[in-house]
C-alpha cells in the first residue's frame, strides 16, 4: 500500500501549483482553473487522510467540496462572462477601474 506521506506530498504539490498559478497567471480563466486545482488537491488530502484515520468523514467532505466547486464554477464563469461583455478582456491586469 502506498504510504500516506506520498498522498500528502502529491496533494501539497498540487495545492502549491494551484496557489502559484493564481498568483502569477493574468488570465482570469486560468486563475480560476488554478483555484479548482487547489480544491482538488484538498480533496486528495481528505480522501487519503480519511482512509488512514478509518473514518468516512474525509470521504464525505469530498462530495460537498465537489458540489461547492461546481456551484462556484457556475457563479464564477457568469461573473467572467458579464465582465467580458462589458470590457472584452479576461486579463486581470486590465481590471483597473477600482484603485486608489
Binding mask 9-48 for another protein (x = CB under 8 A): --x---x--xx--x-----x--xx--x--xx-xx--xx--
Cell of 46: 481528505
Nearest alpha carbon to residue 14 among 42, 41, 33: 41
Residue 45 contacts by C-beta under 8 Å, 6 or more apart in sequence? Answer: 7, 8, 11, 12
Interaction of residue 93 with another protein, rule CB under 8 A: no
Range list of H helices, 1-100? 4-24, 28-53, 57-87
Among 13, 17, 26, 64, binds another protein (CB under 8 A): 64
Interaction of residue 75 with another protein, rule CB under 8 A: yes
Using CB atoms within 10 A of its CB, is residue 43 exposed (0-12), middle (13-18) or buried (19+)?
Answer: buried
Residue nearer to another protein on the CB measure, 1 or 97: 97
Q: Which residues bind another protein (CB under 8 A)?
A: 8, 11, 15, 18-19, 22, 28, 31-32, 35, 38-39, 41-42, 45-46, 49-50, 52-53, 55, 57-58, 60-61, 64-65, 68, 71-72, 75-76, 78-80, 82-83, 86-87, 92, 95, 97-100
Amino acid at each position: 500500500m502506498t504510504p500516506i506521506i506520498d498522498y500528502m506530498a502529491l496533494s501539497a504539490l498540487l495545492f502549491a501549483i494551484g496557489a502559484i498559478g493564481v498568483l502569477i497567471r493574468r488570465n482570469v480563466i486560468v486563475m480560476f482553473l488554478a483555484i479548482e486545482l487547489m480544491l482538488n488537491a484538498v480533496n486528495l488530502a481528505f480522501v487519503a487522510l480519511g482512509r488512514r484515520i478509518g473514518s468516512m468523514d474525509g470521504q464525505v467532505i469530498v462530495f460537498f467540496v465537489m458540489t461547492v466547486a461546481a456551484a462556484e464554477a457556475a457563479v464564477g464563469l457568469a461573473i467572467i462572462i458579464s465582465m467580458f461583455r462589458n470590457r472584452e478582456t479576461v486579463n486581470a491586469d486590465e481590471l483597473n477601474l477600482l484603485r486608489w
